[in-house]
Amino acid sequence: MIDQYKGFVFDLDGVLTETSKAHFEAWKELAAKIGFELPDHVIDEVRGISRLESLDIVLGYNKNPQDYSYDEKVALATQKNNIYLDKIKAYSPNDLAEGAIELFELLKDNHIGIALASASNNAPFLLKAMRIDHYFDAIIDPKTIKNGKPAPEIFLKACEMLGLEPRECVGIEDAEAGIESIKTAGLYPIGIGKLSNCEEVYPDLKALLDHLL
Ligand code: G6P
Ligand code: MG
């Protein structure tokens, strides 16, 4: 299928590295500090969702998020990010998903553009830490995105930055919100992990690579 497409647009957390767990552990620790327990299934609810929107989902398991002022929410989101940063501070190429380098090399050999469509403000740090930043032809800055996933904006912007039409590109995601974003934008969706809203799903990146080889 690789010769049918000119661009591959990747999500980061949960696709190129297992940071989805670190994000969720940080939310759980924040909830514990506030004084409530966050149920484990919430990991799938906050997958791909921006920091402040995730905070509202998390707080909603305790009381109405509207009970907090905007400034209080920013302070809590900063606290969560500090917990998260501590968890990823020692990230290295060892934390990269198996098969990622081979997949990037395969795409480069086939002159296929590579872009990152991550909602995370920590993405540039992680790309550098895992030493894969040089593979990307385009990296979307989430601060420039008005409507996060499931809205199509971030994937549309990635295609635009690659100079390609969405139908010429593949989007790879571990989040249902991300798959919805890819589908609405008009890219071909590929899922990683367990997804109910995507037809082509692989358990991990290595399985996708094996399929493409
Ligand atoms: C990704 C993750 C989410 C996270 C979001 C923002 O989409 O899947 O769990 O909330 O990025 O990340 P940040 O590092 O900016 O808080
Ligand atoms: Mg993800």
Kindly state if the Cβ of 119 falls inside 6 Å of ligand 1: yes
- The domain that holds 33 is classified in CATH as 1.10.150.240
Three-state secondary-structure class, residue 90: coil
Range of the domain at 60: 20-88
Q: Are residues 68 and 148 in the same domain?
A: no
126-151: b (≥16 Cβ within 10 Å) or e: bbebbebeebbbbbbebeebeebbbb
Q: Are residues 78 and 113 in the same domain?
A: no
Q: 88, 120, 139 — which closes off a domain?
A: 88
Kindly state if the Cβ of 22 falls inside 6 Å of ligand 1: no
Residue 121 CA: nearest ligand 1 atom is 15
pLDDT of 121: 97
Q: Residue by residue, what is the 3-state secondary structure of 178-206? A: HHHHHHHHCCEEEEECCCCCCCCEECCHH
Angle, helices 70-88 vs 51-59, to 10°: value is: 110
Q: Are residues 44 and 147 in the same domain?
A: no
Q: Are residues 153 and 208 in the same domain?
A: yes
Q: Are residues 144 and 126 in the same domain?
A: yes
Kindly state if the Cβ of 149 falls inside 6 Å of ligand 1: no
* Residue 174 designated active-site: no
Query: What is the average per-residue pLDDT within 25-53?
Result: 95
Q: Are residues 116 and 202 in the same domain?
A: yes
Three-state secondary-structure class, residue 73: helix
- Mean pLDDT for the chain overall: 96
113 in a structural domain:
yes
- The domain that holds 146 is classified in CATH as 3.40.50.1000
Lowest average pLDDT, out of 59-73, 143-157, 178-192, goes to 59-73
pLDDT band at 1 (very low <50, low <70, confident <90, very high): confident
Q: Are residues 84 and 148 in the same domain?
A: no
Kindly state if the Cβ of 82 falls inside 6 Å of ligand 1: no
* Residue 13 designated active-site: yes
2 in a structural domain:
no
Lowest average pLDDT, out of 49-53, 62-66, 159-163, 187-191, goes to 62-66
Cα distances from 127 to residues 11, 64, 138, 175, in angstroms, run 12, 36, 12, 19
Closest residue by Cα to atom 7, ligand 1, is: 48
pLDDT of 63: 85
122 in a structural domain:
yes
Number of domains within the chain: 2
For residue 60, give every residue at least 6 positions away whose Cβ sits within 8 Å of its Cβ, in sequence order, or none: none
* Residue 66 pLDDT exceeds 90: no
pLDDT tens, position by position, 42-56? 999 999 899 999 999
Q: Are residues 61 and 118 in the same domain?
A: no
Residue 54 CA: nearest ligand 1 atom is 10
81 in a structural domain:
yes
Q: Are residues 12 and 114 in the same domain?
A: yes
Query: What's the pTM value of the predicted model, to 2 decimals?
Result: 0.94
Which candidate, 3, 14, 13, places its Cα nearest to that of 203? 14
> Ligand 1 pocket check: which of 18, 54, 55, 174 to mutate, most ligand atoms within 8 Å of Cβ?
54
For residue 212, give every residue at least 6 positions away whose Cβ sits within 8 Å of its Cβ, in sequence order, or none: 1, 2, 103, 106
CA 20 to ligand 2 center in whole angstroms: 7
Q: Are residues 126 and 48 in the same domain?
A: no
